[in-house]
Amino acid sequence: MNTGAALSNHFKWLSDVAGVKITPEILAIIQSGAMYIHGRDKLYRVTIITDIPKMTKLGERNPDAISTQNMQNAFVFLWSYLKKAMFLPGISDHWNTITDMGWAGMWALPRAQLLAIMSICQSNMMYMLNRSFYVNASWGQMLCFKAMQPFLDPVTRLKLNMSSGHHPDLLELYHPCQLEKRFGGQADTPTNFWPPHVGK
């Protein structure tokens, strides 16, 4: 795709984003804990958390709830919300993501949903993401991640991090009170996911 076409697609996407409002479907995804906002790193960058086991559980109850469109809309809504309400002008205009893979087998992953979200990030948000962590990954996930690394853009490759437990860089990036215990911090995982929790 040439530069002109990429810009045209991005401007159309920005126009579409402006129309994404919170819906019962998006709220159901957020309140299930499948995707939500939690905490800031030491440079005040906000974090979007994705929980694969909770996403899978929601899908088992209602497969339509985690359709690729619903998951894309939920991600775009959260991104739009933090951009409008949580970025700090002149200080923080990037964000991080942490995805709890839950040691799921490769065939148990909601691959279509994850690829749909990654597609949005790659096409429209590639310079706004600071770091993306995939933790509690199974050996199969780790193997696939290592196999695809040579094909990634060098800048993208530096942003993506996968580990079988919590990633050590998280402890350098976050104060413990801003990082959930399951990721190596001291914060409890919230039980109410909306409105967002950004720590004490």
Domains in the chain, CATH or no CATH each: 23-183 (3.40.525.10)
pLDDT computed for residue 152 by the predictor: 72
**pLDDT band for position 76 (cuts 50, 70, 90):** confident
- Does position 10 have pLDDT exceeding 70, yes or no? no
For residues 130 and 145, give the distance between their C-alpha atoms in angstroms, rounded to a whole number: 19
The residue among 37 and 115 whose pLDDT is bigger is 37
pLDDT at 39: 93
Instruction: Give yes or no for residue 125 having a pLDDT over 80.
Output: no
d(CA 145, CA 40): 26
pLDDT at residue 17 greater than cutoff 60: no
Higher-pLDDT residue of 198, 158: 158
The predicted structure's pLDDT at residue 8? 62
Higher per-residue confidence, 185 vs 2: 185
The Cα 155–Cα 77 span in angstroms is: 26
Handedness of CA 60, 135, 77, 189 (dihedral sign): positive
pLDDT tens-digit series, residues 36-69:
999 999 999 999 999 999 999 999 999 899 999 8
- Range name among 42-51, 67-76, 169-178 with the lowest pLDDT average: 67-76
Q: pTM for the whole thing?
A: 0.85
Residue type, 159: K
What are residue 45's phi and psi, to 5 degrees? -80, 135
Which helix (H) or strand (E) segment holds residue 13: the answer is helix 3-17
Amino acid occupying residue 147: A
Single-letter amino acid code for the residue at 157: R
Sheet holding 95-100, edge to edge: 35-40, 46-51, 95-100, 129-135, 160-162
**What is the chain's percent helix, strand, coil content, to nearest 5?**
50, 15, 30
| Mean pLDDT of the 93-119 span | 84
